[in-house]
Structure formats: C-alpha cells, structure tokens
Amino acid sequence: MLKLGFIRSSACRFSPSIVNLSPYPSFPPKQAISFAVRSQMGSFTTLSQSSSRLLFRQLFEKESSTYTYLLADSSHPDKPALLIDPVDRTVDRDLSLVRELGLKLIYAINTHVHADHITGTGLIKGKVPGLKSVISKASGSQADVFVEPGDKISFGDLFLEVRATPGHTVGCVTYVTGDGPDQPQPRMAFTGDTLLIRGCGRTDFQGGSSEQLYKSVHSQIFTLPKETLLYPAHDYKGFTVTTVGEEMVYNPRLTKDEDTFRSIMQNLNLPYPKMIDVAVPANLVCGLQDSKTN
Ligand SMILES: [Fe+2]
C-alpha cells in the first residue's frame, strides 16, 4: 500500500502532501457501481461504492465545450482538492463550488497547453493563496510545479499518477487515479485531448504527431483495466464519460491499424483553430499571469 505521496518538482522547492495523515481506514475492495447524478449546479458527480472518499465533479464550459474536473479527498480533515483543466470564463463558478463544499484547493492542473480556450489557472492563483499550478515539463509552459511521467500528485490520501501521452501536443499528459485498495475503483483517467469519447484530439499543431498519439493511447491508456473510466477535456456531442473497454471497441479512429489512423488524421481538413493565436501564448505562462489574460 502506498503511504508516501511523492511529486517531483524541478520548478520550485514545494513538495506538497508528502505524508498521508488520514485517520480513516482504507476501504475494502467492493464491486464498484458507478452512476452519474446531475446536481442542481449543472455539474456531474460519479459515485462509486469503493470510492466514497473521493469527491468528484465534472464541470462544463459551454463556449469551448471544455470539461473541468474537481477532485477532493473528502475523508481527509482538510478536504484537499484539485482542479483539472479549469477555464478562465468559469473560474468564479468553480471557486464558489469549492467554497460551498468546504474544500481546500491546493492545485490547478492542466493536461496540456490548450489552443481553444485560456486556462483558468492564472485567475485561480490570484484568488486562492498558496495554490500551485501544475503542468508537464514537456509542455514548455511555465508553472509552479512541473510533472514528469511516473510522478504522483497527492491530495490527502488520494493521488493521481502522471502518464506521458504526447501526440495532440508534445507535452500532453494523462492523469490517472491511483492503483490500490484505498484509491477510487474503478480507476479514472483524465485524458485531456489525447483521447476523446469516440475520437481524439487533432495532431496538426503544437508539435502534434499522429504516430505519437496512436502509440500514446495504445501504450498508456488502452493498457489500463477495461473498466477504467475515461474523462476527456472536451465533448461536442453531450457525452460525459467512457471506458477503456468501450473505446477499444468503438473508437472509430483508434481501433484502426496505425497506417489507417495516420491517414485519417492527415485528411481531417479541419479549419485553423480560431483561438490558437490568443490561447497558446497565454497558456504558455500557465498560472503565472498577474491578472486576467483576455
Ligand atoms: Fe487541446
């Protein structure tokens, strides 16, 4: 059983949540029953019998169709929490939810340097003293904490594992909930734009590579247990969650062989991303802006 949470930081000396101090016992493995509940706030929570210490909300930003995820260890006395892929336009909504739930927000994390919206990380840092921004070292972005493959981001007695999944951008990572009896079951993976529900992110900008994306998904995501819940950074059709097993059968791109996949990605004929020239420069200083960035 993992008792020490470790995060490597080459950007600062900050080494958060080093020791788990929860007085609460581990939860025995049980058959997980997950279901989604739409709350009055318009967010979603996934409940699981063996994941009852995880507080989880899926939040939506409608202009860029972006999902932001709120995770917290609700059994820890401090209720430490993190946000994955916050959007600047919905920071006030997200922070109000954090306040209402009595959480202590310690991290704002990005899966990659987004091209279609501006991260909320900078605004959140200005409103939550002590909060650290987190992004992969390979992203080339600025942040308080840089993560690398294999690092663990702890919040209370729960943690996320960092997996490198380049291809949509060179620095894309997938954050996966921990593997262990006291971690959420089934596991959950936050795939950013690497894997979307029945799709994947484009690979024609920001150091993208269809070969890399294909390898990333097959080596880092499709190797997770089939019941692993996959939460993407976007959805444009109203889907909220999928599983590894489902995408291995029904993803129309990633079920193909590599050559076919490459040909699909080279012939998408997508328009130039309309926010890219604004969003990427702003997001490259992820979390270090002093003021609103748009
Ligand atoms: Fe993206």
Q: What is the pLDDT of residue 19?
A: 28
Taking the centre of ligand 1 as the mean of its atom positions, its distance from the CA of residue 173, in whole angstroms, is: 11
Residue pLDDT, tens place only, 262-283: 999 999 989 888 899 989 999 9
Strand locations in the chain (E): 35-38, 44-47, 54-61, 66-73, 80-84, 104-109, 132-136, 145-147, 152-155, 158-164, 173-177, 188-192, 229-232, 242-243
Question: Ligand 1 mean position to 152 CA, how many Å?
Answer: 22
Query: What amino acid occupies position 214?
Result: Y
Below-50 pLDDT ranges, the chain: 1-7, 9-50, 287, 289-294
50 CA to middle of ligand 1, Å?
32
Q: Is 147 helix (H, G, I), strand (E, B) or coil?
A: strand
- pTM for the whole structure: 0.83
- The whole-number pLDDT of residue 285 equals 87
Closest CA to 219 of 166, 168, 263, 177: 166
pLDDT reported for residue 85: 98
Q: Which CATH superfamily is domain 36-268 in?
A: Ribonuclease Z/Hydroxyacylglutathione hydrolase-like (3.60.15.10)
Question: How does pLDDT run across 111-166, given as a tens digit for each residue?
Answer: 999 999 999 999 999 999 999 999 999 999 999 999 999 999 999 999 999 999 99
Q: What is the pLDDT of residue 39?
A: 33
CA of 230 to the centre of ligand 1 (A): 16
Q: Report CA(107)–ligand 1 centroid distance (Å).
A: 20
Cα 252 to averaged position of ligand 1 atoms, centre (Å):
19
Gap from CA of 193 to ligand 1 centroid (Å): 5
How far does the centroid of ligand 1 lie from the alpha carbon of residue 200, in Å? 10
Compute the distance from residue 168 Cα to the ligand 1 centre, in Å: 7
Q: Which amino acid does the sequence have at 2? A: L
Centre of ligand 1 from the C-alpha of residue 113, in Å:
7
- Which pLDDT score, from 0 to 100, does residue 6 have? 43
